[in-house]
Amino acid sequence: MTALSRDNLGPGVVVFLLVCGGCVASWFLVQPALSGPVAPGYDIERMVLYYSSLPRLATALLAGAALALSGALFQQVLRNPLADPTTLGVSAGANLALVVASLFMPVLLGAGRDLVALLGSAAAAAIVIGLGARRGFSPYSLVLSGLVLSLWCGSLSAILIYLNQRYLASLFIWGAGSLAQQSWVIPVSLIWKIVPVAIVCVLVIRPLSLLDLGESSSSSLGVKLARLRIVAVACAVSLAAFVTSAVGVIGFIGLVAPTLARLSGARRPVQLILWSPLIGASLLFLADSVLQLVAGGLGDLLPTGAVTAIFGSPLLLALLPWLKVRHRVQHAVTVRERQGRWGVGKPATVALASVLVIVALGLFVGRGPGGIWSVLSGEFFDDILAIRAPRVFAALASGAMLGVAGTILQRLTGNEMASPEVLGISAGATFGVAIALFAVAPGFIGQFAFAAVGAITVLAVILLSSRRSNFAPERVLLAGIALSAMVDAVVGVLSSTGDPRAVLLLRWISGSTYLVDAGTAATEIAIGAVLIGIALSARRWLDILPLGPAPSSAVGIELARSRLALFGLAGLMTAAATLTVGPLSFVGLMGPHLAREAGLKRALPQMMGAAFIGGGLMVLADLIGRTAVAPYQIPAGLVSALIGAPCLMFLLGKRR
């Protein structure tokens, strides 16, 4: 039976409908140029049609087909219905590599942007798939680690562009997935790159189909599993890298197209791999045509990739029930593990002493006008301390809240990669600030209010979407990541408009503490004290819930209510901290992990240790950002993110 047999008419109907919709929308775009009289000499409308509109439509078709084929290959090889270049971080890795090469090693771009994109994509794929191999290719671990890596790469790319706007300003719109063209160079080059990879994919379709029989059966039929996986993953990574190198990151096409093919009747791998590129091409063709038609003159400025991410993230939320996960039960903590190597007292004492030393350094140590290190003294002591103290104590309170929130998330999910940044609350606060800046333009306090509303709204959506699963931790985290991607896409669209307020938004995203005053710091400390106190009082829940549903129910803990309360508490602490230090810090990832490595295993000691360590790390990040390149300053959020990257790589490589 062939892929075009009678039982497979559904995908053909989907392709037909998408192509018809795209043709109708594109007709309204090209019709004015075709219907008007031919102008003598230089006809501007036809020049735009032949060298801008038509190449853009061709690029949309090619990019959509390549990304859909890449997603279908990833899903078949990894046996994961949520795998695609976006959810595995492959596209974001290519984008970050291109940004870094443009800024620090432009000579590499002379050798070819495709090579740089391939290196970035391969590195991201190696990290995520290497983690999957260590954890039995668990769908949950693959998707979570891929999306976390994707968020970090995307955020770091945006921050680097912000810090080097005069060199990389045009990369912001391109990095969000811009299909705007001025010639046929891009679509023609994509054809020559995609066709050879597609031929290889056709040659491995039959061996890929045999993977459904299981590893032992496939091997008995002569399939070389290791070689097949390497070839298929290499093809998928290459397709994603070629597209990212040409037009930037186009989000979720590789997830949506195979899903539509599967829902419309393409069940077998042969059918999925043949129909997915057709659906992906027609889908991106329709999306870009509608975008240009609706946006009008702004069509070239609005990134298509961000728009596809806005619609792809809800689909990811809808597909979460398909992802089969099991609750990871933590083993009972023995007395030796409970106390650690040095007991509880010594690590806590060391952490507290370290925080006090770091706070003292942040308050009294700096660099003078000549760049010379100096201790604060003299006639300007009070004036300088009045500027430094709010920043230091706000960073301390924010870092402590992030550390405690990360402890709650990691204990509830049983996953040391969980952190407040992936819950989506930080993205919600960012969205609130974006709305405030672009719609209302309030003062500093008003921005705080909008950020809080955005964070609480995202938290409510996450919890409502997870209610049917009894607030299962995996569902909550993945729902948060999906909403983060969608909110980041909306912020990307707002930032790509060219409005000067986008610079203020990017400055806030980078985690700058420049504008923190005494009132803001006092409010942050008060909120932190209340929320951390509530978290410490819930230590019994956090000791029992990680053991699994059965033991928790046996001692009278209501799973839904307790999880709802703890996730809500973690969300509030994340929102409050994000208002001061920005959405990207990874302190919520590092604090709990370092506390656990120090021997603080039980909930109460680990939360206290994570609070001390998180607060100290954030103050240290503010100190480094203030003094490393004085008189210039690097935002504390960026510094802490750069510190958090090696920590994330370490956690990704640990064997469970």
**Cβ within 8 Å of residue 477, ≥6 positions away:** 144, 409, 413, 415, 418, 422, 423
Instruction: Note whether 62 and 194 are within 8 A (CB).
Output: yes
- Would you say how long the chain is, in residues? 656
- So what's the pLDDT on residue 62? 92
Top-confidence residue, 530 or 323 = 530
* Predicted local confidence at residue 196, as pLDDT: 92
Question: H helices within 510-585, ranges in order?
Answer: 518-537, 539-544, 549-554, 559-581
Residue 367, classed as helix, strand or coil, is: strand
Alpha carbon distance 512, 495 (integer Å):
18
User: CA-CA-CA-CA torsion for 402, 487, 503, 447, nearest 10 degrees?
Assistant: -60
Beta-carbon count within 10 A of 159 CB: 24
- In which band, very low, low, confident or very high, does the pLDDT at 555 lie, cut at 50, 70 and 90? confident
State the average pLDDT over residues 363-374: 80
Residue 501, CB half-sphere, CA atoms under 13 Å: how many?
16
Region 284-312 average pLDDT: 75
pLDDT band at 328 (very low <50, low <70, confident <90, very high): very low
Mean pLDDT of 466-484: 67
| Least reliable range by pLDDT among 79-93, 127-141, 531-545 | 127-141
CA 256: distance to chain centroid?
A: 18
What mean pLDDT is predicted for residues 557-571? 82
Top-ranked range on mean pLDDT: pick from 343-347, 489-493, 565-569: 565-569
Q: Is the pLDDT of residue 368 over 90?
A: no
* pLDDT, average across residues 233-247: 88
Residue 365: helix, strand or coil by DSSP? strand
- Residue 603 Ramachandran class (φ > 0 left, ψ -120 to 50 alpha, else beta): alpha
State which of 118-127, 288-297, 320-329, 633-642 shows the largest mean pLDDT: 118-127
DSSP letters of 571-607?
Answer: HHHHHHHHHHH-S---HHHHHHHHHHHTT--SHHHHH
CA distance 63 to 47: 23
Q: How far is CA 452 from CA 444, 447, 549, in A?
A: 13, 9, 32
394-450: per-residue pLDDT in tens? 999 999 999 999 899 888 877 666 777 766 777 787 788 778 877 776 665 677 678
User: For 585-611, how does the pLDDT look when each residue is reduced to its tens digit (9 = 90+)?
Assistant: 678 888 888 888 778 888 888 899 899
More confident: 394 or 499 = 394
Highest averaged pLDDT of the listed ranges 188-192, 421-425, 457-461, 487-491: 188-192
Higher pLDDT, 302 or 389: 389
* Whether the predicted pLDDT of 567 surpasses 90: no
Distance (Å, whole) CA 168 – CA 63: 23
The Cα–Cα gap between 395 and 399 comes to 6
61-84: average pLDDT: 86
Asked if the model's pLDDT at residue 129 lies above 50, the reply is yes
What average pLDDT does the structure give for the chain?
77
H runs (alpha helix) in 105-184: 106-110, 113-134, 139-163, 165-175
- Full-prediction pTM beyond 0.85? no
Report the C-alpha gap between 252 and 247 in whole angstroms: 15
**Least confident among 263-277, 298-312, 568-582:** 298-312
At residue 533, the pLDDT reads 93
Query: In the structure, what pLDDT confidence band is assigned to residue 167 with cuts at 50, 70 and 90?
Result: low
Q: What is the 3-state secondary structure (H, E, C) of 231-289?
A: HHHHHHHHHHHHHHHHHCCCCCHHHHHHHHHHHCCCCCHHHHHHHHHHHHHHHHHHHHH
More confident residue, 56 or 112: 56
- Ordered structural domains, the chain, with CATH: 57-319 (1.10.3470.10), 336-610+629-653 (1.10.3470.10)
Cis peptide before 631 (omega within 30 of 0): yes
Angle, helix 444-465 to helix 559-581, in steps of 10 degrees: 150
Reduced to 3 states (helix: H, G, I; strand: E, B; else coil), residue 374 is strand
Exposure string of 209-235, with b = 16+ CB inside 10 Å and e = fewer, is bbbeeeeeebeeeebeeeebbebbbbb
pLDDT digits (tens, 9 = 90+) for 22-40: 777 777 777 666 666 655 6
Residue 140 scores a pLDDT above 50: yes
Per-residue pLDDT, 541: 84
- DSSP state, residue 632: S
Q: Which two tokens stand for residue 245?
A: 């190198």
The label of the residue with tokens 């795998």 reads: 83
What are the pLDDT digits (tens) for 74-90? 888 877 777 788 778 88
Residue 344 above 60 pLDDT?
no
Structure confidence at residue 532 (pLDDT) = 93
**Do the Cβ atoms of 451 and 436 come closer than 8 Å?**
yes
User: Taking a C-beta distance cutoff of 8 angstroms, is the pair 573, 397 a contact?
Assistant: no
pLDDT for res 393? 92
pLDDT score of 299 more than 90: no
What pLDDT is attached to residue 603?
A: 86
C-alpha–C-alpha distance, residues 398 and 524, integer Å? 7
Are 92 and 124 in contact, with CB atoms under 8 Å apart?
A: yes
Please give, one letter per residue, the 3-state secondary structure of 324-346.
CCCCCCCCCCCHHHHHCCCCCHH
Structure confidence at residue 8 (pLDDT): 45
- Do the beta carbons of residue 131 and residue 145 sit within 8 Å? yes
Angle of helix 381-413 relative to helix 518-537, nearest 10 degrees?
30
Q: What three-state secondary structure class fits 311?
A: helix
Would the pLDDT of 549 be above 50?
Answer: yes
Where residue 165 falls among pLDDT bands split at 50, 70, 90? Answer: low
